[in-house]
Every structure is written in C-alpha cells, then in structure tokens.
Amino acid sequence: MPPLHQLLAIGTLALGLTACSPADNTSISKTLNIAFWGDNTTLVSVDPFQVYWLEHRVLLRNVVESLTDQDPQTGRIIPWLAKTWEVGADALSYTFHLREDVTFSNGERFDAHAVKTAFDNNKAFASQLPATFGATYLAGYDHAEVIDDFTVRLVLAKPNAGFLQATSTTNLAILAPASYQLSAQQRSLGKIIGTGPFTLNHYTPEVGARLLKRADYAWPSANVRNQGPAYLDAVDISYIPEESVRNGLFLQGKVDILWPRNPFSEVDLKLFQSKGATIQSRSLPGPALNLYPNTRNDRLLGDRQVRLALQKAIDRTSYAHTVYNNAFPVAAESAGDVLVQDQLRKVGIDLKLNVLTRAEWVTGNSTGAYDLTSTYMTRADPIILQTILDPRAANSATLATNTYEPDTLAKAQALFDSGITATADTQRAHAYGQLQDLLVDEASAFPLYERVWQAATAPRVKHFHWTAEGFALLSDIQVGQP
C-alpha cells in the first residue's frame, strides 16, 4: 500500500489525490467521527478478502472477526472465534474448536459450516483472480472438513508457514453464509455481514462509511478490554485526501480522530498538542518504506555498481528527521522526494520527479515505465514480502520481476520458498534474514525509513489502542466531555 502512490523514476513520481467530501456527520449520542486519508479509487471494495487498503481494514476489523487474533505486544496468536486449535505435525492441517455462543448480525449461527463456506468461497475467488490481496493469505489452502458443528479442519495442499497468522487477519475474516450468496461486487460495496461489535450501515466510495453498534455483542478476543457491546452508538468515517481540510475539521472540533496516511510534521504535532490532542503512534508491521529499482530492459539501474552507489548516497537519518521530526525512526512526502533528489545529485545521479495520477502510477508499475518505484503492504508476518517481491504471488508481477537481475531473482525465490515451507520459527527467521541481506547487498531495495502510522485523538476520545496490524479497536473507545 504505497502511502503516496509514488513512482520515483530517474523517471517519475506518482502522486494521486482525489477530492472528496466528508461523510454526513449528523450527530447522534455517542458518535465518533474519524477523518481518514482518501479512499482507494483503484480497487473500490470493502470485501475483506479483496481489501489491502489500510483505512478499509480499520473499518473491517470492527465489523468482521477472525478465527484467531494476534497479541499486539508479543505477536503471539491467541483465541478469538476459535477457542483452541491443533496444527498437524506436517503443518498441512489446522483443526479449530469454535466458540458456540457467536452469531452473525443477521441472526445466522457461527459454526463449522460457516467457516467452511467462507474459506471455500475465498478459494474459488482466488482461483478466478489470483492477484487478489487475500490470495497470498490463503496460499496452499485445499479444503475444509466439518468434524462436527463446532469443529472444523482446514487442510493445505502444501505448507504455508504463515497460515495460522493469516487466520488472525481481516483478509481471512469470516462472513455470514448469506454474504456469499451475493456477488463480489455487492460485497465490495458494503453488503457484508460479520460477527463484530459494529455493523456496516453503509459505505459510499470516496465519501465515507457509517458503523452502527450491535447491542447483543459479547465475544471479543482478549485484546479487547470491553467484553460487552461497544460504548459508542455509531462511527462516522470520512475519506478526505486534502490535508488542510482534514486538519481544519479536527481543529474545529468536527472530527474526533484525525488519521492521515503519513505521519504528522513537527509543526502539526505541536499545533494539535496545543489543542489538547493526544498523538497515537505505532510502527506498521511489514517492510520499511523502500524504493525498488527497475533493473531490466537496459535501464540505468540494471548496473549493480550504480545501484550500490545510490544505496550509499541516501542519508536515512537526514531523511527521517528532516521530513518528519527528530524522534522519527530511521529505516513520502514531496519534501522527502526532493531531499533524496538532492542527496543523489551529490553523487552524480539526476533523479527527476514528475507528478502522475494514481491510475498513471498503476500503469507505470505494470508496464515497467520507471527506474525507481515505491510500494508497501502491511501484515504482521514476513510472508508479506511475497506480495511485493515474488513475481509468482506479487500484486504487480512486473514490479517484482524488474526489482532483480535474473540471477538474484532465482536466489530470492529460493529463499521465499524456504520461508513459506519452514515448520520451525528458527528456520523461517534464517530464510527471511538471508532474503533481507540479499535485497540490500544487491541493492534490490533501498530502505528509507520505518513506517509509522499516527492518529491524533481529540480530548474527548478515551481508550484508543492499536491492534497488531496497526488498526484500532473501536468498541473500547468512549467519548465524552474533554
């Protein structure tokens, strides 16, 4: 999920912003108003299996639930809709023992049959659209066996070391069987039925969404402090790409949570804090913000020595501290792009920046019309690297292929295979550690900074806290007088 959808090319910079208006913020008692960055106009969908857009996954985490959850402090997988589970010795079967007190918001019972329906429908969808985001989460899945009403075995055809973690994500959340009677397009536009503490009242692309409290909710995971129905009656979400508009609404008290895609500048931090706001910060799991080269078709960065020179020329500390603030972790806004441009000019590399629409950025990635591109995905498991950098599973096979010289690609794919088939944590760590070294040593990735997501909460917002993947548990939030 590129934070600015940028395509940096010795070459081009892609930056797509689409104007939109806030959702209807008609006030009812205990309504929370959230202002997000712009909506995804490339993939208009809130279907959990298709969604990669961070803002949509925040929404979904509070409407749909998963077999397991992930502790945000330790990364450990913990119970949720499944009470317990066993993993087969060959890592090809996962048997889940389900809670018996859960219902979907339409009254349907959550049980083993519902789990089988969800996984089998997701598999069918992935077979039709292999590049859909959820396909990598489901990698290796073959079929589900209903052992009894509340016991289900998920069987893999090949090992997937990230599968248990995948069952904790929004992408493999369980929808009601009735949801799968609808078309993928209907689900994309908001016709989804979950077991969560909120229902999705409506979703209007590029405008906003509304969540409504579910009064009979009573089965959260241990990550949620509130074990009953949400304290809020409703949540109004607005998609607002214009920074000045978002900030203005927050400072006027019309927005309770200001949640842009990029971290706040030093100036904005001080301004919001002077108004009593709390700045909520969390490192997003997954790779750092990287630039990826196009090494193919006689491009300049096909020369390893040029790539290594570029690798050494980037001053990560100056980037993070100059673009954001002195406390920002080192590992883009236009200021950052210009800074990199200045740094590279000192070693004789002319980095040209041209503004493109989001659609042009997507086309540029798919056709290879760039020298450097930037993209990322968020997931609390190293397998997410395959979605970016393995042509066999990547959202953009062209981008993933172009990132490596041919010999390096073969080495990288061997390490991807070692990581996904490993049955021991130490084996996985070794494979992904070697992959990381390969990417840096061959200058197949140019890390800039650690990705941190920030939100500003108004004084009246209490008990905001993060999930493992950098989302929020809205059923814990309370609003009142500042």
The CATH code of the domain that includes 389 is 3.10.105.10
35 strand-pairing partners: 238, 258
| Rg from Cα positions in the chain | 22
Give the sign of the dihedral formed by CA 226, CA 229, CA 234, CA 239.
Answer: positive
Three-state SS at 328: coil
CATH number at residue 141: 3.40.190.10
309 and 164 assigned to the same domain: no
Instruction: Find the helix packing angle between 316-323 and 334-345, rounded to 10°.
Output: 150
| Domain contains 33 | no
* Distances from the Cα of 48 to the Cα of 83, 149, 154, 442, angstroms: 22, 24, 19, 36
Angle 466-258-282 from CA coordinates, rounded to 5°:
30
Q: Helices (H), strands (E): how many in the chain?
A: 15, 20
Evaluate whether residue 340 is within a structural domain.
Answer: yes
Total structural domains within the chain = 2
Residue 382 counted as domain residue? yes
Compute the distance between CA of residue 474 and CA of residue 46 in angstroms, rounded to an integer. Answer: 17
Phi, psi dihedral angles at 142 (to 5 degrees): -110, -55
Q: Which of 387, 391, 386 is nearest to 368 (CA)?
A: 391
Q: DSSP letters along 281-323, please?
A: EEEPSS--EEEEE--STT-GGGSHHHHHHHHHH--HHHHHHHH
Sign for the pseudo-dihedral over CA of 303, 368, 44, 80: negative
With a CB cutoff of 8 Å and minimum separation 6, the contacts of 100 are 111, 150
**Which residues are paired to 77 by β-bridges?**
70
Alpha-carbon span 95 to 98, nearest angstrom: 10
Rounded-to-5 percentages of helix, strand, coil across the chain: 30, 20, 45
**Is residue 50 a contact partner of residue 133, using CB atoms and an 8 Å limit?**
yes
**DSSP reduced 3-state for 104:** coil
Strand partners, 352: 9, 10
Counting beta carbons within 10 angstroms of the beta carbon of residue 97, is it exposed (0 to 12), middle (13 to 18) or buried (19 or more)? Answer: middle
Residue 471 lies in a domain: no
Site of tokens 């077999």 = 67
Pairing state between β 452-457 and 446-449: unpaired
Cβ neighbours of residue 74 under 8 Å, at least 6 residues apart? none
The pair phi, psi for residue 471, each rounded to 5°, is -100, -170
Helix axis angle for 406-421 and 425-441, nearest 10°, is 160
Phi, psi at 366, each rounded to 5°: -75, -25
Q: Are residues 320 and 440 in the same domain?
A: yes
Same domain as 441, residue 301: yes
Where does a domain end: 129, 152, 178?
178
Residues with Cβ within 8 Å of residue 154, at least 6 apart in sequence:
93, 94, 95, 96, 115, 119, 141, 144, 163
φ and ψ at residue 430, rounded to 5 degrees: -65, -45
- Specify if 405 maps to a domain: yes
| 186 and 173 Cβ atoms separated by less than 8 Å | no
Residues 152 and 116: beta-carbon distance below 8 Å = yes
Q: Digits of tens for pLDDT over the chain (482 positions)?
A: 443 334 444 433 332 223 344 444 444 469 999 999 999 988 899 999 999 999 999 999 999 999 999 999 999 999 999 999 999 988 899 999 999 999 999 999 999 999 999 999 999 999 998 878 899 899 899 999 999 999 999 999 998 989 999 999 999 999 999 999 999 999 999 999 999 999 999 999 999 999 999 999 999 999 999 999 999 999 999 999 999 999 999 999 999 999 999 889 889 999 999 999 999 999 888 888 899 999 999 999 999 999 999 998 888 777 666 666 666 665 445 455 666 777 777 777 787 776 677 778 788 888 999 999 988 888 888 888 998 999 988 888 999 999 999 999 999 999 999 998 887 888 889 999 999 999 999 999 998 888 889 999 999 999 999 999 999 999 999 998 76
Residues 294 and 433 in one domain: yes
Mark whether 156 and 294 lie in a shared domain: no
Question: Does 193 fall in a domain?
Answer: no
Q: For residue 399, tell me if it sits in a domain.
A: yes
- Partners of residue 330 on adjacent β-strands: 449
State the Cα–Cα distance between residues 79 and 428, nearest whole angstrom: 23
On whether the CB atoms of residues 375 and 362 are closer than 8 A, the answer is no
Contact by Cβ (8 Å): 282, 59? no
State whether 169 and 308 are in the same domain: no
Let me know if residue 469 belongs to a domain: no
**C-alpha pair distances (Å), 96 with each of 26, 119, 149, 192, 400:** 42, 13, 11, 23, 35
**Strand ranges (E), 141-263:** 141-148, 151-156, 198-204, 208-213, 234-239, 257-259
Q: How many CB atoms lie within 10 A of CB 54?
A: 21
Residues 310 and 442 in one domain: yes
Which distant-in-sequence residues (6+ apart) come within 8 Å of 335 by Cβ?
Answer: 322, 323
Structural domain containing residue 75: 68-178
| Residue 26: per-residue pLDDT | 43
Encoded tokens for 144? 């589900």
